[in-house]
């Protein structure tokens, strides 16, 4: 055998050995996430034709709601929740597309902006669009969120990053750029509702009362590893939004309650006008910023502002299985 051929074979063997070692070191599931350039599907879609297709049962109980990390989470209070059904994943682009095809629904981000409701908007924000995360090269502290959030005319659920982007081949990703009334319209079309904050939090706590507050960054969730917003280490396998169901579900069989996208709830936010409570944190939540990957965390969101770190899931009041 020629000497150069031996050398090539040795190099190839060394690369293969390194790859095997890397898979072994990371563990199967995590390595699988890293191996593909971008995963487009993690969970097979459930289509069984029943009214509760793709939903799981959440038994009722009494929950100690809230947390004590950020001021808006307290005080801790006991709340009783009846049993209900809940979508096991965030609503996907495919599911939302089905709704739009059946109803010709036009989302808030695609409609003319109500400038009477929002006087004094800068010219770009008077055009239909959504707020999009754009990773900055550098920031001057994290006080000014406009360093990484940009209002992009033409951004909407079909074009989540702006007019030049699309959801082609992203059927299994959660739908984004959804305003509150869009989420509500979808839920009503399905004969369902949006979860209350208490329902959402109870489900995120796996229907277990009195769970100890855990502030560690979860491993089984799409969050942000590294210094937000300038270093995205993506140790969880996802630089951006993940398809639904790529991480282990919670004990009830619910996926991505924590992380991936924030989720709308039906509750008005008590101290912000025309805002609702959103829950669960997103792929943008990091230990140094927005430590909100916890069931008790919450944030206000203006009802008519579509953003690309926010989606939703639905609930259904129906008898237990
Ligand atoms: Ca991530
Ligand atoms: Ca989520």
DSSP 73-98: G-S-EEEEE--EEEESSPPBHHHHHH
Residue 247 has which token pair?
A: 């991480």
Nearest ligand (C-alpha, residue 223): 1
Query: What is the whole-number distance in angstroms between the Cα of residue 40 and the centre of ligand 1?
Result: 15
Q: Is 37 left (phi over 0), alpha (psi -120 to 50) or beta?
A: alpha
Query: What is the whole-number distance in angstroms between the Cα of residue 309 and the centre of ligand 2?
Result: 9
Query: What is the whole-number distance in angstroms between the Cα of residue 282 and the centre of ligand 2?
Result: 6
Query: What is the whole-number distance in angstroms between the Cα of residue 295 and the centre of ligand 1?
Result: 18
Q: What is the pLDDT of residue 13?
A: 54
**Is the pLDDT assigned to residue 32 strictly greater than 70?**
no
Query: What is the whole-number distance in angstroms between the Cα of residue 237 and the centre of ligand 1?
Result: 6
Query: What is the whole-number distance in angstroms between the Cα of residue 231 and the centre of ligand 1?
Result: 11
Query: What is the whole-number distance in angstroms between the Cα of residue 152 and the centre of ligand 1?
Result: 23
Query: What is the whole-number distance in angstroms between the Cα of residue 293 and the centre of ligand 1?
Result: 12
Q: What is the pLDDT of residue 213?
A: 74
C-alpha distances in angstroms, 185 versus 68, 163, 180, 192, 195? 34, 24, 9, 10, 14
The residue ranges of every structural domain in the chain are 38-316
3-state DSSP call for residue 201?
A: helix
- d(CA 144, CA 136) in angstroms, rounded, equals 12
**Is the pLDDT assigned to residue 10 strictly greater than 80?**
no
Lowest mean pLDDT of 15-24, 73-82, 109-118, 244-253, name the range.
15-24
Task: Give the H or E element holding residue 3.
Answer: helix 3-26
- d(CA 32, CA 43) in angstroms, rounded, equals 14
Q: Taking all residues of the chain, what is their mean pLDDT, rounded to a whole number? A: 90
C-alpha distances in angstroms, 249 versus 73, 75, 89, 204? 24, 28, 9, 10
Query: What is the whole-number distance in angstroms between the Cα of residue 257 and the centre of ligand 2?
Result: 4
Nearest to 321 by CA among 99, 82, 52: 52
Query: What is the whole-number distance in angstroms between the Cα of residue 129 and the centre of ligand 1?
Result: 25
Query: What is the whole-number distance in angstroms between the Cα of residue 108 and the centre of ligand 1?
Result: 28
Nearest ligand (C-alpha, residue 256): 2
* DSSP secondary structure of 233-245: --TTS-SSPPPTT
Other beta carbons within 10 angstroms of residue 120's beta carbon come to 6
Nearest to 178 by CA among 126, 113, 90, 108: 108
Residues 6+ apart with CB under 8 A from 271: 300
Q: What is the mean pLDDT of residues 44-57?
A: 85
C-alpha distances in angstroms, 179 versus 131, 169, 204? 11, 23, 22
Residue 228 has which token pair?
A: 């937000």
| Beta carbons of 302 and 273 less than 8 angstroms apart | no
Query: What is the whole-number distance in angstroms between the Cα of residue 221 and the centre of ligand 2?
Result: 9
3-state DSSP call for residue 318?
A: coil
Torsion, Cα 316 319 320 321, to 10 degrees, reads -100
Preceding omega of 229 cis (within 30 degrees of 0): yes
Nearest ligand (C-alpha, residue 284): 1
Q: What is the pLDDT of residue 190?
A: 96
**Is the pLDDT assigned to residue 238 strictly greater than 70?**
yes
**Is the pLDDT assigned to residue 189 strictly greater than 50?**
yes
CATH 3.90.1580.10 fits 38-316, yes or no: yes
Query: What is the whole-number distance in angstroms between the Cα of residue 261 and the centre of ligand 2?
Result: 4
Query: What is the whole-number distance in angstroms between the Cα of residue 123 and the centre of ligand 1?
Result: 33
**pLDDT grade for 17, boundaries at 50, 70 and 90:** very low
């Amino acid at each position: 055998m020629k000497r150069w051929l031996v050398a090539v074979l040795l190099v190839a063997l060394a690369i293969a050995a390194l790859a095997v070692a890397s898979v072994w070191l990371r563990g199967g599931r995590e390595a699988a996430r890293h191996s593909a350039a971008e995963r487009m599907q993690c969970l097979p879609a459930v289509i069984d034709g029943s009214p509760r297709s793709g939903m799981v049962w959440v038994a009722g109980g009494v929950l100690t709601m809230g947390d004590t990390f950020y001021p808006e989470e307290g005080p801790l209070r006991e709340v009783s929740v009846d049993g209900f059904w809940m979508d096991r994943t965030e609503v996907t682009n495919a599911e939302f597309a089905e709704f739009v095809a059946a109803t010709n629904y036009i989302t808030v981000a695609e409609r003319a902006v109500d400038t009477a409701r929002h006087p004094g908007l800068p010219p770009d924000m008077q055009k239909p669009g959504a707020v999009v995360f754009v990773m900055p090269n550098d920031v001057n502290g994290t006080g000014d969120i406009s360093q990484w959030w940009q209002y992009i005319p033409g951004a909407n659920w079909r074009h989540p990053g702006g007019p030049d982007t699309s959801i082609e081949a992203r059927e299994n990703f959660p739908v984004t750029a959804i305003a509150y009334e869009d989420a509500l319209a979808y839920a009503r079309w399905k004969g369902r509702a949006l979860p209350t904050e208490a329902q959402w939090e109870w489900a995120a706590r796996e229907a277990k009362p009195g769970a100890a507050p855990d502030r560690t960054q979860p491993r089984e969730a799409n969050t942000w590893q590294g210094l937000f917003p300038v270093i995205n280490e993506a140790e969880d396998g996802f630089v951006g939004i993940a398809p639904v169901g790529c991480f282990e579900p919670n004990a009830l069989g619910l996926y991505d309650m924590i992380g991936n996208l924030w989720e709308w709830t039906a509750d008005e936010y008590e101290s912000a006008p025309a805002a609702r409570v959103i829950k669960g944190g997103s792929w943008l939540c990091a230990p140094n910023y927005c430590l909100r990957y916890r069931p008790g965390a919450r944030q206000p969101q203006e009802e008519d502002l579509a953003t690309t770190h926010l989606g939703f899931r639905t609930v259904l009041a129906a008898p237990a299985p």
